[in-house]
Chain A
Amino acid sequence: MTQILMPALSPTMEEGNLTKWLVKVGDTIEPGQVIAEIETDKATMEVEAVDEGTVTELLVEEGAQGVKVNTPIAVLSGEGEAPAPKQSAKQPAQAEMRQEPVKTARAEPSAASVAAPQSDPEIPAGTQMLKITVRDALRDAMAEEMRADDRVFVMGEEVAVV
């Protein structure tokens, strides 16, 4: 059984609307097939299947709003099912791991608060400090810009202002 997760289609996307299902329960799907359309505040994009198998459940209804990234949206079984793991020959034994929704860097920047460096005069006293990765910091900063100014959007790899 493989779960299909709500994908992030841009570095700043946190949630999206599932506007359309292009498959239904019982359909067999293959990699590369477009299975759904989702909509963010910036664009409508297609979701392609990565695994092959039969759709056994659609967990999110068509038209659902504000589906958080990485939420399971469908369940797949069959073909793609654990292909008799003969991988050990090729690679150093990796613990088997189907794609469970891994806890990603996207998860809340854990409560790992760190003490504020006292010496920086630009930081107001009492500011709560969090330790996050550079990647998350960039993503959050971009997202904040985009929320603050709707002329800011991400296109391909450039952050542009029209």
Chain B
Amino acid sequence: MAKGNGKQASAEASKDELLQYYRDMLLIRRFEERAGQLYGMGLIGGFCHLYIGQEAVVVGMQAALREGDQVITAYRDHGHMLAAGMTANGVMAELTGRSGGYSRGKGGSMHMFSIEKAFYGGHGIVGAQVSLGTGLAFANKYRKDGKVCLTYFGDGAANQGQVYESFNLAALWKLPVLYIVENNQYAMGTSIQRSSSETHLHKRGVSFNIPGEEVDGMDVVAVREAGKRAVERARSGEGPMLLEMKTYRYRGHSMSDPAKYRTKEEVEEQKAKRDPIDHVKKLIIDAGYASEDELKNIDREIRSIVTDSATFAQKSPEPDPSELMTDIYIEA
């Protein structure tokens, strides 16, 4: 098996798997670039946090899941939704606040859900999704339905108190939850070195008896393998694990962040040496699974899906004023 970028050898992945990962990661990247463009055209109101650079995390983790397993995350959520199988049209139309969006245009970037795809949001309060994800896992255990809940949070969120209250109960009750900290090294403009006394975030579960593991979050196959082990463990009733994904966000915290807190060289180096999509591409080419031309065809397909979603997101009507008070409560 080919190695990428002089990294440690990836675990084995088949041709079909690698091509699928390439496709899924590329969809996220192209989608996010297009979202950035629509934002620049004034078509996206409010917040818009792009996931560019971190694609291998969600794509790798999704490959470790079974249908019905849940996903919950923070506001940097477009990639999680696409990886969960939500449509580019529905997500993009929500970004532009149109009725064809997942929250019928009333939620926007941070507030989308899909019961069908077991995606539980999109949460703007840093760290809050950790308690909610733990609650979902509690319900899974109570119902004995065999589902596992993936709970994502950031390195910044890792310093929030409710994360540790959740850890305690999840370990105590051996809940089927997996904690995935996406350590992209910054929380808005604050680097992890400036904010955290223990920067190896996978160690943060130790005092709760939650085993942790550091994972190269730029290597989709490494992510999948770590994910599989942890999901397996959680599903079999042994309780949570904490996976620390070492990753990097290429763009600013949100669209209007000029990112003065890090150097251009640092960003360029990450892009050049660790890019998750280039990594898979190299695995595919080196193994002879596809040629550059065949990959170009995939690029084109992805581009057309994304272009269509942008078209849809501009043509779908804005929600009717009569919708103002709908979708607030759910009928029990």
Contact A5 B311 (CB under 8 A): no
Complex Cα spacing A31 to B29, Å:
9
Closest to A97 in B: B311
Number of interface residues, chain B, beta carbon within 8 A: 41
Complex Cα spacing A98 to B303, Å:
12
Contact A156 B253 (CB under 8 A): yes
Confirm or deny: B97 has a beta carbon within 8 angstroms of a beta carbon on chain A.
yes
Contact A69 B303 (CB under 8 A): no
B256 partner residues in chain A, CB cutoff 8 A: 9-11, 43, 154-156
Closest to B318 in A: A133
CB distance from A35 to the nearest CB of B (A): 12
User: A66-89, CB under 8 A of B: which get 1 and which 0?
Assistant: 000110000000001001111100
Complex Cα spacing A90 to B189, Å:
40
Confirm or deny: A118 has a beta carbon within 8 angstroms of a beta carbon on chain B.
no
Select B311's contact among A94, A105, A155, A157, beta carbons within 8 Å: A94
A87 partner residues in chain B, CB cutoff 8 A: 304-305, 307-308
Stretch at the interface among A44-52, A57-65, A120-128: A44-52
Contact B258 A44 (CB under 8 A): yes
Contact A94 B308 (CB under 8 A): yes
Confirm or deny: A119 has a beta carbon within 8 angstroms of a beta carbon on chain B.
no
Contact B41 A104 (CB under 8 A): yes
Contact A104 B40 (CB under 8 A): no
How many residue pairs, one in A and one in B, have C-beta atoms under 8 Å apart?
Answer: 105
Contact B52 A32 (CB under 8 A): yes
B252 partner residues in chain A, CB cutoff 8 A: 156
In chain B, positions 225-256 with a C-beta closer than 8 Å to chain A are 250, 252-256
Contact A105 B43 (CB under 8 A): yes
Which one of B34, B250, B252, B304 has the highest number of Cβ atoms from chain A below 10 Å of its Cβ?
Answer: B304
Confirm or deny: A109 has a beta carbon within 8 angstroms of a beta carbon on chain B.
no
Complex Cα spacing A65 to B322, Å:
43
Select B41's contact among A45, A47, A102, beta carbons within 8 Å: A102
Confirm or deny: A135 has a beta carbon within 8 angstroms of a beta carbon on chain B.
yes
Do A50 and B36 contact each other (CB < 8 Å), given the known contacts A94-B308, A154-B256? Answer: yes
5 A-B contacts, Cβ less than 8 Å apart?
Answer: A7-B41, A9-B256, A10-B256, A43-B260, A106-B42
Binding site for A on B (CB under 8 A): 29-30, 33-34, 36-37, 39-43, 45-47, 52, 89, 97, 188-189, 250, 252-258, 260, 300-301, 303-305, 307-308, 310-312, 314-315, 318
Binding site for B on A (CB under 8 A): 5, 7-11, 31-32, 43-45, 47-48, 50, 69-70, 80, 83-87, 90-91, 94-99, 101-102, 104-106, 133, 135, 138-139, 154-157
